[in-house]
Chains A and B, each alone.
Chain A
Amino acid sequence: TQLLEQSPQFLSIQEGENLTVYCNSSSVFSSLQWYRQEPGEGPVLLVTVVTGGEVKKLKRLTFQFGDARKDSSLHITAAQTGDTGLYLCAGASSWGKLQFGAGTQVVVTP
């Protein structure tokens, strides 16, 4: 059972467009992590957010953690084909245990 809901499940956009994916839960997390996964590979850590209301930027990617530490969003500006992948959010509880969402599959076409 996935306690983290990610939306949308699938997103197809053209290069240069912007996109936002969401991660929502009824649970409070001590921190939340975003990963990107390519086919046949393991997830790669993008960012960790810890403080409610925190905003982190990684080049064209902007991550926000909700004030109540229950939800998060990832915004990509001017998407590139290299941004294609499965974006996973994961909420951390005690002992570093992560609860993953089902992911948002992003496809960026030229």
Chain B
Amino acid sequence: EAEVAQSPRYKITEKSQAVAFWCDPISGHATLYWYRQILGQGPELLVQFQDESVVDDSQLPKDRFSAERLKGVDSTLKIQPAELGDSAMYLCASSLESGTVYEQYFGPGTRLTVT
């Protein structure tokens, strides 16, 4: 069964350092999402791509976060510099449009700890 791949699964970094996360969506899924999930809360959308184009990045802290999906397939999310408050689970999801329904499939996530 096809799955969304993410790496690394865990990352510990010191504040002010740069960190990057990678996501490979399910083959054929044009839409890719990056979410941040703080413990005890639901995921919150950071950025949404349709193929290689950004559809929504209204919640992405653009002073320190960047995301790209250059060839419309895999994607990278970067944080520079990392802050203590960035400690969270970073989730990637992909979806295939079926009419007006977009069912999202999530990867296992990257647990980030900033010290």
Query: A: which residues have CB within 8 A of B?
Result: 2, 4, 30-31, 33, 35, 40-45, 48, 50, 88, 90, 92, 95-98, 100-103
Selected contact of A2 from candidates B4, B42, B100, B103, CB within 8 Å: B42
Contact status A42-B103, CB under 8 Å? no
Contacts of A100 in B (CB 8 A): 42-44
Selected contact of B105 from candidates A31, A45, A102, CB within 8 Å: A45
Segment from B12-20, B62-70, B106-114 that makes contact with A: B106-114
Docked pose: A33 CA to B106 CA in angstroms: 13
Selected contact of B42 from candidates A50, A95, A102, CB within 8 Å: A102
Interface size, B (range) = 20 to 34
Q: Which chain B residue has the least Cβ–Cβ distance from A100?
A: B42
A30 to chain B, nearest CB (A): 5
From known contacts A42-B91, A95-B56, infer whether A48 and B42 are also in contact, taking CB-CB under 8 Å. no
Contacts of A95 in B (CB 8 A): 48, 50, 55-56, 102
Interface string of B81-115 (1 = CB under 8 A from A): 00000000001010101001111111111010000
